[in-house]
Amino acid sequence: MKNLFNVLFAAACLINVAFAQGNWSVDPAHSNARFEVNHLGISLVDGQFKTLEGAVASTSAESFDGATINFSIDVNSIDTRIEARDNHLKSDDFFNAEKFPKITLKNAILKKAGKGKFTLTGDLTIRDVTKKVTFDVVQNNGIITDPWGKTRAGFTAKTSINRLDYNIKYNDKLPTGVPAVAAEVAIVVNVELVKN
């Protein structure tokens, strides 16, 4: 009888843990991945990727501390508002979208870093290079229930990378030695999650 009680107790604990965990999906209609880079040493050019998807597994229903994240961006969805520039960015000078159509962030772990603040560290792959990257993350206004009864949460994640670390070849310089396009790229990802 004692063994049966132990088995039932363990099963109840597992059920409680399963219900406490949360699986979330990125809402692509309310999410974006943006970037900004210095041009000719005098201005900033920005753009975005319009198509992205991702999944988040939280360890509890109330907190994202320790959550795991996997994220994917469609390189062909790049948009800088200038078609010729977008096509150049899709070429082998930059992303080579034909050969490497996805930018991914895998095995990323969200760790609490203060009230409403987190760090997110994971494996960022651009082209054929994967590097560990850390984002500073802010959770925007906790977890809410939307007017249609769905549970949602929003985050803004920021980091910067050296694009040359990812085999991005374009590296023209002005006669003064100033890069036509700077190596450092600022990245901002705004994500709205919907609980599954």
Give mean pLDDT, residues 73-77: 97
- Higher-confidence residue of 10 and 139: namely 139
Give mean pLDDT, residues 174-184: 96
Model confidence band, residue 3 (pLDDT cutoffs 50, 70, 90): low
- Computed over every residue of the chain, the mean pLDDT equals 91
Model confidence band, residue 14 (pLDDT cutoffs 50, 70, 90): very low
Give mean pLDDT, residues 94-104: 98
Q: What per-residue confidence (pLDDT) applies to 21?
A: 74
- List domains and CATH numbers for the chain: 22-195 (2.40.128.110)
**pLDDT at residue 2 greater than cutoff 70:** no
Residues 18-37: pLDDT tens digits? 344 789 999 999 999 999 99
**pLDDT at residue 115 greater than cutoff 50:** yes
Model confidence band, residue 61 (pLDDT cutoffs 50, 70, 90): confident
**pLDDT at residue 4 greater than cutoff 60:** no
Residues 118-158: pLDDT tens digits? 999 999 999 999 999 999 999 999 999 999 999 999 999 99
**pLDDT at residue 11 greater than cutoff 50:** no
Q: What per-residue confidence (pLDDT) applies to 103?
A: 98
Q: 81: which residues sit within 8 A by CB, 6+ positions away?
A: 47
